[in-house]
Amino acid sequence: LGQFLPPVIFEVTANATQAIATFGKVNTQLKVMEAQAIKTGKALSGFQKAAVVGTGALKVLGVVAAGVAAIGVKSAMDLEKSYNRLGQALSNMGVASEQTRADLSLLMQSYEDLGFGAEKAADAYSVLITSTGNVERSNRLLALSADLARSKTMDLESASRLIARAAAGNTRVFKEFGIVVDNSKDKTVAIEEALSKLEARLGGQASAYAKTFAGQLAVLNEKIGDLFEAIGMKVLPVLTKFI
């Protein structure tokens, strides 16, 4: 996928505005034709009305199709950027094997079932792998980040930053949930105990949220996003020919 796209990609909001304007023109045209028909004493035939509406509909469909393509391309580009950042983070930590990349790609997609987008999960994971340099630990902390995100109604990447700092010794999150870090113990041991207590406190929040009505809407939104991304992946190769 190319890093830059030609000006043919336009804002979907503009498409929506154009579609509304097209519908307005169709209605105006129908009113004018009705008025002319009344003056001449002839009724506007159903075929004439259908022709006007049909022409307008074709214009609107074209606008909608362009809008869908634009959304798809943007979604595909966002996903690509997130995965590229994650790939770079893995490379920087020296854990960028093909198997690791494949496993993490599946892991990122699994977070859609919790109402988080794969690109959001990838961005959060980039934060964690950069902080820990360890895949297994990052997997664990990503799950905890998802629970924290749902508990505090925040985005996954922000939650992952808080968890990364907590795993590195920052006690802010622990204090918020009434968890005391035992400073009489080795710092690493004390932090691990605190993380385990936080997991026990928050465990299951993300899964529970996914079963609520709001959570199901979030999951549905991500599934629809998958469709747009798939469309974008198909459109991008065509558009890059114009570069």
Tens place of pLDDT for every residue, the chain, 243 residues?
333 333 333 344 444 445 445 545 555 555 555 565 555 555 555 544 445 444 544 444 444 444 444 544 555 566 677 778 888 888 888 887 888 888 888 888 888 889 898 889 999 999 999 999 999 999 999 999 999 999 999 999 999 999 999 999 999 999 999 999 998 999 999 999 999 999 999 989 999 998 998 888 887 777 666 655 555 555 555 545 544
**To 10 degrees, what angle do helices 156-167 and 118-132 make?**
20
> pLDDT digit string (tens) for 133-182?
999 999 999 999 999 999 999 999 999 999 999 999 999 999 999 999 99
Closest CA to 144 of 105, 174, 181: 174
Contact criterion met (CB below 8 Å) for 70 and 11: yes
Round to whole Å and give the CA distance between 109 and 10: 28
Contact criterion met (CB below 8 Å) for 194 and 169: no
In terms of C-beta density within 10 A (0-12 exposed, 13-18 middle, 19 or more buried), how is residue 130 classed?
Answer: middle
Contact criterion met (CB below 8 Å) for 118 and 158: no
Q: Is pTM beyond 0.75 here?
A: no
In terms of C-beta density within 10 A (0-12 exposed, 13-18 middle, 19 or more buried), how is residue 31 classed?
Answer: exposed
